[in-house]
Amino acid sequence: MGFPALLSGEYSLPRCNDVEQFSHIKGKIMQTQTEIKDETLHWRSQAEAQLASIREMVESLKSAEESEDDDAREEAETAIHEDALSVEVRTRWMSASEYFQAAQATGLSQERLSRADLEPFKPAEFRILLCTGGPAVQITGELSEHGEPEAETIQLQGQDWCQPWQNAVISDEDRQVLARYVQCFHFGE
């Protein structure tokens, strides 16, 4: 059957004449929905793997700091820096007029820019991308007015292809591990 048959109305959907046939079709639909749902949760196992790796790196960093071994500390920090695929920041939400005023102010020569001119462009949120694709995993959070990550806002998020980012459920202990990991990065100021 071709497309013209569909347009002409020569084709009709099959009808369910009895309860057994309806139950069979409903069962197939439910099975398909479950299979799709299961396939979209690959990010969770990837997030768990990323978190396990972060735990190890942070433990190495803590051990180096406790033993006051500067070489080991530097090596641990380097491992953390090299782990992230990208480290990004973005500014806060602002009104369009506030944005245009700030943009005009930044048209001044670099020597004449003041901190007040740049205030609207100050980073307010961060994201550290750990892996891409389907699945992808990232760490997100808010920054304080001094550009420091706020531990209580840190989230581990995952995503499968064509799906929105979802927050992983993590313990308070793991949130502290993520906070220590994130503190190794510079976000401004």
Does the pLDDT at position 18 exceed 50? Answer: yes
Tell me the sheet residues that pair with 167: 157
Give how far the C-alpha of residue 74 lies from the chain's centroid of Cα atoms, to the nearest Å. 27
Range with top average pLDDT, 78-82, 87-91, 130-134, 184-188: 78-82
Report the C-alpha gap between 143 and 158 in whole angstroms.
Answer: 21
Report the C-alpha gap between 143 and 118 in whole angstroms.
Answer: 16
Are 76 and 61 spatial neighbours (Cβ–Cβ below 8 Å)? yes
Digit-coded pLDDT (tens) for 127-184: 999 988 779 999 999 888 777 888 889 999 998 888 888 898 889 999 999 999 999 9
Q: Among candidates 51, 77, 48, which has minimal Cα distance to 63?
A: 77
Q: pLDDT-based confidence at 119, cuts 50/70/90?
A: low
- Nearest 5°: CA angle at 97, between 91 and 102? 55
Residue spans per domain, the chain: 43-92+122-182
Placement of tokens 């990991």 in the chain: 181
Sheet strand arrangement including 136-142: 86-91, 123-131, 136-142, 155-159, 166-167
* DSSP notation for 72-138: HHHHHHHHHHHH-SEEEEEE----HHHHHHHHHHTTS-GGG--HHHHGGGSEEEEEEEEE-SSSEEE
